């Protein structure tokens, strides 16, 4: 039985790249099911690509084939690979850091470099193209794997898991009177800010629903936000347009403006430059 293909890219729908990839998939096997995760990853943002896989991969059936193409290094010596995950699913992607969160939080069993002499689309229209591996390499190889035309072993040679390119991570730190973490990612539609602090760590520290928590955010060491915010289970416990702390669907502590957009309205972002401190 054919596997499901789930795609994410930074291509948007503004031009024909996504349709070209899907055309290649359907040319391999018309019966393959294609699902869009997102094509709105911020341009060139490998970290966001990695995080989004971590956000949704665990909720898909085992043996799903995920295709992630955020590839600013396309056409260079970076590896093109297929990773076999701990649950039997696959991720077809450039090995440029995109596998970092899955490696850390989910588990990778094996990784193979795509053999371009076999698993690359080659015809008169694609032979000289070096800038569209989403179509000619990742989409094509993923379709062949999902359709059962090739086995995982036929993707290409295996290489050591230690060679996977990993993005740097910062771990949250618990002090006597505070917890310090980072703003890991942003909810782009609602402007909520997701930290790397687990709910359990936050609550083991002593914070509970209804508490007001002094919250300080810095950007490159400069304080950019300092308020006392309530910690609630969900948004309906707070008034519209008020700020609050909650835990998101990944059980990480997050910040929100209820029926608003905290990131936009308070000029806040995410990444290792954005530190957050919760104090007693």
- Supply the pLDDT for residue 130: 58
Mean pLDDT of 257-266: 97
pLDDT in tens, 6-36: 999 999 999 999 999 999 999 999 999 999 9
Helix (H) or strand (E) holding 58: none
CATH topology of domain 4-163: Rossmann fold (3.40.50)
- Supply the pLDDT for residue 260: 97
Q: For residue 129, is pLDDT > 80?
A: no
Instruction: Kindly list the distances between the CA atom of residue 238 and the CA atoms of 52, 199, 231, 256, in Å, as whole numbers in the listed order.
Output: 28, 19, 9, 10
Question: What is this structure's pTM?
Answer: 0.92
What distance in Å separates the CA atoms of residue 215 and residue 231, rounded to the nearest whole number? 11
Residues of the chain with CATH 2.40.30.90: 173-279
Closest CA to 176 of 216, 205, 203: 205
Residues of the chain with CATH 3.40.50.10790: 4-163
Percent pLDDT > 90 in the chain is 86
What's the chain's average pLDDT?
94
Q: Hey, is 117 helix, strand or coil?
A: coil
pLDDT in tens, 211-247: 999 999 999 999 999 999 999 999 999 999 999 999 9
Mean pLDDT of 162-185: 95
- 54: number of CA atoms within 13 Å, CB side? 24
Q: Hey, is 95 helix, strand or coil?
A: coil
Q: For residue 199, is pLDDT > 70?
A: yes
Q: For residue 127, is pLDDT > 70?
A: no
Give the right CATH number for 173-279 from 3.90.1170.40, 3.40.50.970, 2.40.30.90, 1.10.3210.10. 2.40.30.90
């Amino acid at each position: 039985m054919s596997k499901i293909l789930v795609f994410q890219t930074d291509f948007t729908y503004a031009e024909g790249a996504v349709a070209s990839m899907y055309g290649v998939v359907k040319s391999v096997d018309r019966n393959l099911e294609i699902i869009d995760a997102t094509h709105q990853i911020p341009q060139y943002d490998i970290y966001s690509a990695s995080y989004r896989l971590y956000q949704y991969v665990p909720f898909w059936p085992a043996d799903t084939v995920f295709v992630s193409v955020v590839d600013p290094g396309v056409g260079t010596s970076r590896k093109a690979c297929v990773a076999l995950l701990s649950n039997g699913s696959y991720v077809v992607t450039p090995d440029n850091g995109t596998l970092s969160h899955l490696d850390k939080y989910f588990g990778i069993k094996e990784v193979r470099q795509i053999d371009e002499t076999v698993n690359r689309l080659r015809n008169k229209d694609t032979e000289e193209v070096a800038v569209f591996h989403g179509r000619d390499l990742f989409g094509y190889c993923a379709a062949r794997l999902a359709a059962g035309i090739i086995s995982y072993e036929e993707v290409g040679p295996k290489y050591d898991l230690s060679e996977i390119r990993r993005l740097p991570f910062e771990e949250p730190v618990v002090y006597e009177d505070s917890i310090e973490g980072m703003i890991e990612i942003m909810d782009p539609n609602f402007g909520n800010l997701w930290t790397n602090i687990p709910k359990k760590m936050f609550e083991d520290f002593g914070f509970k629903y209804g508490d007001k928590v002094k919250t300080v955010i810095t950007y490159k060491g400069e304080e950019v936000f300092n308020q006392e915010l309530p910690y609630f289970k969900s948004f309906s416990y707070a008034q519209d347009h008020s700020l609050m702390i909650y835990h998101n669907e990944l059980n990480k502590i997050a910040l929100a403006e209820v029926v608003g957009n905290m990131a936009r309205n308070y000029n806040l972002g995410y990444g290792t430059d954005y530190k957050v401190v919760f104090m007693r």
